[in-house]
Chains A and B, each alone.
Chain A
């Protein structure tokens, strides 16, 4: 295979439209007869609803309709489903309380939807929403995971607010290993709750056509097919063939646009009642209250080591805050995507992790960039760094001593790593970060009144959750394959349809590189189409860094079918036997001769089959494939962070950040680096600036960007990046995925650096200036 486009820094095909204002995001879609929805949201974290009066709102100017929970109940609209069933330590299914689209007699978090107003303009809808009168009877609320079990029940089905207690690993073996350990390192910390804040707020525009009884939903979604499946099969009971979901340009997702949201359902249902398009676009304040949040773990973690620093065992107890309801994939994040990663890059022989997932009166929590894996990496890498300091061993040395070096490697927490080279990324990172020169830099900083620290994080992640049957046995209620279709046009250009969705990742370029490379075509001859259920045969969407590994492979499989059929056609045209046809750089050749047909000629013959083996072969050149991976992929890397802390104010500046990743084979290094930059920014954000805060009554304190700090340009450094490649062994491209790495590895690296600078065991995230100042004064 030619490799000219694989590994090439090809500028992005999608950039032109975004740079000229020609992108089409959901809110940009304007339809004839457009109406606008506004939601009435609960100001209480927990309250009974005695009465909802919509009379005044219905009489307000421009109002077309006002719907409440009672209307939806009367129409038998179902609740939002959860896509993953966790079975608890006693073999019982998790508690699955109903998740109504509009509140049914009770609200359980601030921002929960009580009613929806549809009006001729967005302002009129908003005006009328203020006129909906709701009589609330406030109830005691709980926001923190730590207090959930001792608070009043949020759902009848879960009197102690526990959704499940789940465990992984051999507890008795772990306890035995701890009993004989020479050293035990113990940490207790909170993995801070984050609010995703894609810059495009969520948006929906639903339209019903009486002509064919069909519904089209434009929605800012990461996975339109899953949205359609959940909405039709579980909530609205519509025939799937009558619903089209389009996720056009989407302005970032980071997990928050994976889920089926109540607003999507409410607008779709309303559009069908009114036979007019209904649009809703979240303002940022609503996004803070209604987009699924991420993280929020309270963890006690212990690492047992022998006297030489070999890891003997790890024991982890986590309480995970799920929020008020089970969001689409909430249940699998603090379990399947968390505990399974606790081996990290190390040979820890036995691990036990117990997770108690609780309901609280807060916005639901689900996957946010990394989803479980940042939390796991934080546990492992904070423990390892702390253990090294306690045992007075160089942190890098302790890691090296415990690295996994033989592959495949079966961890004690269910995963089997196919390949990796952890020493290579660590060595490269240390060199680039000039760890050797750190002591001098620390001295120089001290002379300027600054405390300097260095921290590592060696992360592992598992991408492309798979295979479907294994995921199914673990509770997944969906398959985890991907679909791709390659449509060769009569003139030899190609349109590829993928079930993966891009919302910033650049699939239109990366996937086109794969296709153009494999077919030997120019980039301009290949277009990638995604995000429309009416065009794409099926798709599981984009999350978990799965697109290239799973979606890309599905395309490759379809390409292979195209080439195979092309060989049959070429053999006929060239009067040769199929076995003698070779395909290279856009040309079908008879091996060892100069007889050839171009890809375009073969495509033309397929569609104008005058000289064609019609008795043996169908006309046309259009192939599709589904790919269900045989294993996860395991990207890994080593990060080195250097910080300077202002001794007087506690303000922390990242003065150096090196990331060396192993993503397997890289298709477009420019795009991959961009993914790492973005992940790092979010990981550094978690460590330094971002922390969702609720008060004791369940009011969200960080309800706007004026209080919740996502990093700005001046909060971040230029990153130093490099890559090492150990190709994935079980997909044809050798790719692993890169979307989440930065967010997974960065928090631990930053916090290891800050604790090093301060000489303290722990600082809570986010390490805001005030938190660091407090830690300095405690120390």
Chain B
């Protein structure tokens, strides 16, 4: 890890102010990706602005149609939250599949979304649950948020403060894990909002999470596994690595989507 300066602001305002002054600085949320990258010297920020003690950034709020999760809420808190489990059980279940127990105790939703790892789980949920990413400046719709490999709509020093998920009628997340890293080789989040409104978010398969519109259309017509079982996803543009070719990933999208629907119907 290269040397850096450490800051511990006590409010969002102070954090944003610091970030504005430090061009090569980074916000530090849980650190489960950033600290790893810094250890391998793949990332070398000049300054770390630790958000860990900013109380206003953590917590879960449920209104009738939405679940709002503070940016610094840990994955384990989302997974265990009675409110989240009641409102969007599939979201709580998804949070419980991220990384491992220890990682879930530190990792945060804001950190995950700001990083936008192509194989992270939350992006699939954000897309499928038509979430809104709230920052210090604005609200960003799910469809506008993900821009590419590790790229988001966030501007320099813009800070995610919360993420608001729409409550679906039913939904489920199915993850086929990379056996080594335990990230998603392919993860598919299916959410049925009723009245023919189904959204399908896919992670792990491409450079950034995306919606699978062909499946959305089929499921909107009929929310049943067989509606998607025969859909052949095109491998073009999908990730290619040691663990899965684009063809295999394309195939897994169909299988995971089908299984997510089965799960959602249970």
Chain A in direct contact with chain B (Cβ < 8 angstroms): yes
- Listed in ascending order, the chain A residues whose CB lies under 8 Å from chain B are 123, 127, 130, 285, 648-649, 651, 689, 693, 701-702, 705-709, 715, 768-770, 773-774
- For window 146-188 of B, CB contacts with A under 8 Å fall at 176, 178-181, 183
Pairs A–B under 8 Å by Cβ, sample size 11: A648-B255, A649-B176, A689-B179, A706-B178, A706-B180, A706-B181, A707-B180, A768-B243, A769-B176, A770-B244, A770-B245
- In this complex, the member of A702, A770, A773, A774 whose beta carbon has the largest number of chain B beta carbons within 10 angstroms is A770
B230: chain A residues within 8 A (beta carbon): none
Given A285-B40, A768-B243, A770-B243, 16 new contacts (CB under 8 A):
A123-B1, A123-B3, A127-B2, A130-B41, A648-B255, A649-B252, A649-B255, A706-B178, A706-B181, A707-B181, A707-B242, A707-B243, A708-B180, A709-B180, A769-B179, A770-B245
Question: B179 touching A715 by the CB < 8 A rule?
Answer: yes
User: Measured between C-beta atoms, what is the minimum distance from A764 to chain B in Å?
Assistant: 13
**Residues of A contacting B: mostly:** loop
Pairs of residues from A and B, 9 with the lowest C-beta to C-beta distance, nearest first: A709-B180, A706-B181, A709-B179, A648-B255, A770-B248, A707-B180, A689-B179, A701-B242, A770-B244
Asked whether, in the complex, the Cβ of B179 is within 8 Å of the Cβ of A773, the reply is no
* Contact in complex: A702, B179 (CB < 8 Å): no
In the complex, are the beta carbons of A693 and B242 less than 8 A apart?
yes
Give min CB distance, A556 to chain B, whole Å.
44
Is the CB of B251 closer than 8 A to any CB of chain A?
yes
Q: Which of A702, A708, A709 has the most CB of B within 10 A?
A: A709
**Closest A residue, CB atoms, query B183:** A706
Interface contact B242-A773, CB-CB below 8 Å:
no
Once the chains are docked, how many angstroms separate the CA of A769 from the CA of B40? 29
Which residues does chain B contribute within 8 Å of A693, judged by CB atoms?
Answer: 242
Contact with A along B231-245 (1 / 0, CB 8 A): 000000000001111
Which chain A residues lie closer than 8 Å to B40 at the CB level? 285
Taken together as a complex, chains A and B put the C-alpha atoms of A693 and B183 apart, in Å, by 19
- Nearest-neighbour CB distance to chain B for A529, whole angstroms, equals 36
Contacting pair A773 B2 (CB below 8 A): no
B244, B245, B248, B255 interface centre (most CB from chain A within 10 Å) = B248
Contacts of A689 in B (CB 8 A): 179-180
A637 to chain B, nearest CB (A): 28
> What's the least CB distance linking A695 to chain B, in Å?
10
Contact code string B50-90 (vs A, CB < 8 Å = 1, else 0): 00000000000000000000000000000000000000000
Kindly report which residue of chain B lies nearest to residue A702, judged by CB atoms.
B242
Which B residues touch A701, using CB under 8 A? 242
B242 nearest CB across to chain A (Å)? 5
Contact B1 A705 (CB under 8 A): no
- Given A127-B2, A285-B40, A701-B242; A768-B179 close (CB under 8 Å): yes
Which residues of A are found within 8 Å of B183, using beta-carbon distances?
A: 706
Which residues of the partner chain B approach A774 to less than 8 Å between Cβ atoms?
A: 248
Q: How far apart are the CA atoms of A127 and B2 in the complex, in Å?
A: 7
- A705: chain B residues at CB < 8 Å are 180
**Considering only CB atoms, which chain A residue lies closest to B186 in the complex?**
A649
For the complex, what is the distance from the CA of A130 to the CA of B42, rounded to whole Å?
13
A62 to chain B, nearest CB (A): 12
CB distance from A394 to the nearest CB of B (A): 33
B229: nearest residue on chain A (CB-CB)?
A: A648
Return chain A residues, CB-CB under 8 Å to B41: 130
Bound-state Cα–Cα, A718 to B138, Å: 52
Decide: B181 and A773 in contact? CB cutoff 8 A: no
Query: Which residues from chain B contact A285 at a C-beta distance below 8 Å?
Result: 40
Once bound together, how far apart are the Cα atoms of A285 and B3, in whole Å? 20
> Cα distance A473–B3 when bound, in Å?
57
B residues near A770, Cβ cutoff 8 Å? 243-245, 248
Instruction: Flag if B248 contacts A773 (CB, 8 Å).
Output: yes
> In whole angstroms, what is the CA distance A701 to B241 when docked?
9
Q: Chain B residues with Cβ under 8 A from A130's Cβ?
A: 41
- A95→B3 CA distance, assembly (Å): 46
> CA–CA, A689 to B242, complex, Å?
12
Bound: A709/B183 CA distance, A: 12
Q: Name the A residues within 8 Å of B245 (CB-CB).
A: 770
What is the CB-to-nearest-CB distance from B212 to chain A, in angstroms, rounded to a whole number? 17
B180 and A773 contacting across the interface, CB-CB below 8 Å = no
* C-alpha spacing A170/B125, complex, angstroms: 65
Q: Specify which chain A residues have a CB less than 8 angstroms from the CB of B3 in the assembled complex.
A: 123, 127
Chain A residues, Cβ within 8 Å of B1? 123
The answer for the CA separation of A769 and B41 in the assembled complex, in Å, is 32
- Complex alpha-carbon distance, A773 and B245, angstroms: 11
Measured between alpha carbons, how far is A708 from B179 in the docked complex, in Å? 9
Identify the closest chain A residue to B39 (Cβ): A283
Contact with A along B193-229 (1 / 0, CB 8 A): 0000000000000000000000000000000000000
A697 to chain B, nearest CB (A): 15
CA distance A689 to B178 in the complex (A): 11
The residue in chain A whose Cβ has the minimal distance to the Cβ of B100 is A712
Contacts of B255 in A (CB 8 A): 648-649
Using Cβ atoms and an 8 Å threshold, which residues of chain B touch A706? 178, 180-181, 183
| Nearest CB in chain A to that of B244: its residue | A770
Which of A123, A127, A130, A649 gathers most chain B CB within 10 Å? A649
Q: How far is the CA of A709 from the CA of B243 in the complex (A)?
A: 10
Min distance, Cβ A557 to any Cβ of chain B, angstroms: 47
Contacts of B252 in A (CB 8 A): 649
Q: In the complex, how many angstroms separate the beta carbon of A460 from the nearest chain B beta carbon?
A: 31
Query: With the chains together, A768 CA to B244 CA distance in Å?
Result: 10
Docked Cα-Cα span, A515 to B24, in Å, equals 64
Residues of B within 8 A of A715 (CB): 179
CA distance A709 to B244 in the complex (A): 14
B174 to chain A, nearest CB (A): 11
Find the A residue at minimum CB distance from B36: A706
How far apart are B263's CB and chain A's nearest CB, in angstroms?
Answer: 14
A689 to B183, CA, bound (A): 15
- A330–B52 alpha-carbon span in the complex (Å): 51
Residue of B1, B40, B179, B252 ringed by the most chain A CB atoms within 10 A:
B179
Which residues from A are CB-within-8-Å of B181?
A: 706-707
A123 to B44, CA, bound (A): 14
- Known A127-B2, A708-B180; judge A773-B243 contact (CB<8 A): no
B29 to chain A minimum Cβ distance, whole angstroms, is 20
* Docked pose: A449 CA to B58 CA in angstroms: 43
A-facing mask of B25-45, CB < 8 A → 1, else 0?
000000000000000110000
CB of A380 to closest CB in B, whole Å: 28
User: What residues of B have a CB within 8 angstroms of the CB of A127 in the complex?
Assistant: 2-3
Assembled-state Cα–Cα distance A770/B252 (Å): 10
Q: Which residues of B are found within 8 Å of A769, using beta-carbon distances?
A: 176, 179
Q: How far is the CA of A651 from the CA of B256 in the complex (A)?
A: 13
CA A130 to CA B242, docked complex, whole Å: 29
Q: Which A residues are in CB contact (< 8 Å) with B179?
A: 689, 709, 715, 768-769
Q: Which residues of B contact A648 (CB under 8 A)?
A: 255
CB-nearest residue of chain A to B255: A648
Docked CA distance A353–B35 (Å): 51
B242: chain A residues within 8 A (beta carbon): 693, 701-702, 707
CA distance A90 to B3 in the complex (A): 58
